[in-house]
Amino acid sequence: MSLMTVSEVAEFLGVKELRVERLERESLLISKDKDGEGKPLFDKTDVEKYKEFAERIGGI
């Protein structure tokens, strides 16, 4: 399992970090762990699946 930080997810999805944090709060992206500062870390496969799904329904 490869983990991605909030900033990495934001860059991959083409959105701001605030949007990624909101996706996590709304349980649209589930974090798998927390970093040393308590920020969420996301599984790369989950992020890729979310992006594919979001694009299918009209955007992120």
Residue 58: which pLDDT band, with cuts at 50, 70 and 90? confident
Residue type, 45: T
Q: Is the pLDDT of residue 9 over 80?
A: yes
DSSP code of residue 43: E
pLDDT one-digit tens code per residue, 18-52? 999 999 999 999 999 999 999 999 999 999 999 99
> What pLDDT score does 59 carry?
75
The span from the CA of 20 to the CA of 54, in Å, is: 13
* Tokens encoding 50: 């979310």
**H or E segment to which residue 4 belongs:** strand 3-4
Q: How many CB atoms lie within 10 A of CB 54?
A: 15
* Tokens encoding 54: 């979001």
The span from the CA of 59 to the CA of 52, in Å, is: 9
Q: Is the pLDDT of residue 13 over 90?
A: yes
